[in-house]
């Protein structure tokens, strides 16, 4: 029970990596507050966790809505008196050639993938500072280390996540608040068929040192490590979970 009675907020928790994080953290004893724009999907996951005997609450909304994020964080604090960890997982992944990209598409990518973390971090950090403890885990992407065509807006936003992680770790360290980052590789999710072909998936595996698909649970386990006492000596770090694709 690495997170027994810890209070955790997970964004993008209805599917994929976020769903795996919520489930694993709940099983490790956390009170999990789940947030996703897919309100029905998020509620279904939370309900299944409660049916299994775990503590889970769901909320719907857009991570670009600063007020909604603040309300969700406030509700968690009012319910439990504290907030111990924030997992910034929500993100989008549309492909677009750079010369075909509109300014609106660029802005949307950065608003969802990066600016949302500004909103969520500002919502939870005052309480973490008061209690002089906390863990923030930001989800970036291995694409930042690789550089990928057709994803310039995505890679740029994920690079910003790494910059945010490092600077926030410096600023919050004196308050015993840890800020770290995970860079997932090609993760086997239900939605990946909307983005890549079977041939591209095989190319991903061929590029890895580990010749198997990397799963949402693989990522969730590293997020668990960064959210519990096992990582108390770490902050400002970037951990790849990509099967040994990029070695950084």
Domains parsed from the chain with CATH numbers:
7-241 (3.40.50.720)
Is residue 72 classed exposed, middle or buried when 0-12, 13-18 and 19+ CB atoms within 10 A define those classes? Answer: buried
**pLDDT score recorded for residue 196:** 86
Is residue 2 classed exposed, middle or buried when 0-12, 13-18 and 19+ CB atoms within 10 A define those classes? Answer: middle
134, 177 contact by CB (below 8 A): yes
pLDDT of 248 > 90? The answer is no
Averaged pLDDT for residues 216-232: 98
> Is residue 154 among the annotated active site residues?
yes
The CA radius of gyration of the chain, in Å to the nearest whole number, is: 17
- Give first-to-last CA distance, the chain, whole Å: 31
pLDDT digits (tens, 9 = 90+) for 64-121: 999 999 999 999 999 999 999 999 999 999 999 999 999 999 999 999 999 999 999 9
**pLDDT score recorded for residue 194:** 83
Is residue 145 classed exposed, middle or buried when 0-12, 13-18 and 19+ CB atoms within 10 A define those classes? Answer: buried
pLDDT digits (tens, 9 = 90+) for 164-213: 999 999 999 999 999 999 999 999 998 888 888 999 999 999 999 999 99
Q: Pick from 162, 198, 70: which is nearest to 125 by CA? A: 70
**pLDDT score recorded for residue 37:** 97
What is the spatial distance between Cα 6 and Cα 137, in angstroms, rounded to a whole number? 15
The three-state secondary structure class of 150 is: coil
Check 25, 35, 54, 154 and give the catalytic one.
154
pLDDT of 44 > 90? The answer is yes
**pLDDT score recorded for residue 29:** 98
Task: Report pTM.
Answer: 0.97
């Amino acid at each position: 029970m690495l997170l027994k009675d810890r209070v955790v907020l997970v964004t993008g928790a209805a599917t994929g990596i976020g769903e795996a994080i919520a489930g694993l953290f709940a099983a490790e004893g956390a009170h999990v507050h789940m947030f996703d724009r897919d309100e029905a999907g998020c509620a279904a996951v939370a309900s299944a966790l409660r049916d299994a005997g775990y503590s889970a609450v769901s909320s719907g909304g857009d991570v670009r809505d600063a007020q909604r994020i603040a309300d969700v964080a406030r509700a968690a604090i009012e319910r439990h008196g504290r907030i111990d960890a924030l997992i910034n997982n929500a993100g989008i992944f549309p492909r677009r050639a750079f010369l075909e990209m509109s300014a609106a598409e660029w802005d949307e990518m950065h608003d969802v993938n990066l600016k949302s973390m500004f909103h969520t971090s500002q919502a939870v950090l005052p309480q973490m500072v008061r209690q002089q403890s906390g863990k923030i885990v930001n989800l970036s992407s291995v694409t930042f280390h690789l550089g990928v065509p057709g994803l310039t807006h995505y890679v740029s936003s994920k690079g910003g996540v790494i910059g945010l992680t490092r600077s926030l770790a410096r600023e919050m360290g004196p308050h015993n608040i840890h800020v770290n980052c995970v860079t997932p590789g090609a993760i086997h999710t239900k939605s990946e068929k909307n983005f890549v072909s079977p041939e591209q998936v095989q190319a991903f595996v061929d590029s890895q040192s580990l010749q198997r698909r990397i799963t949402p649970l693989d990522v969730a386990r590293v997020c668990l490590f960064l959210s519990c006492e096992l990582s108390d000596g770490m902050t400002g770090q970037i951990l790849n979970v990509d099967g040994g694709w990029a070695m950084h």
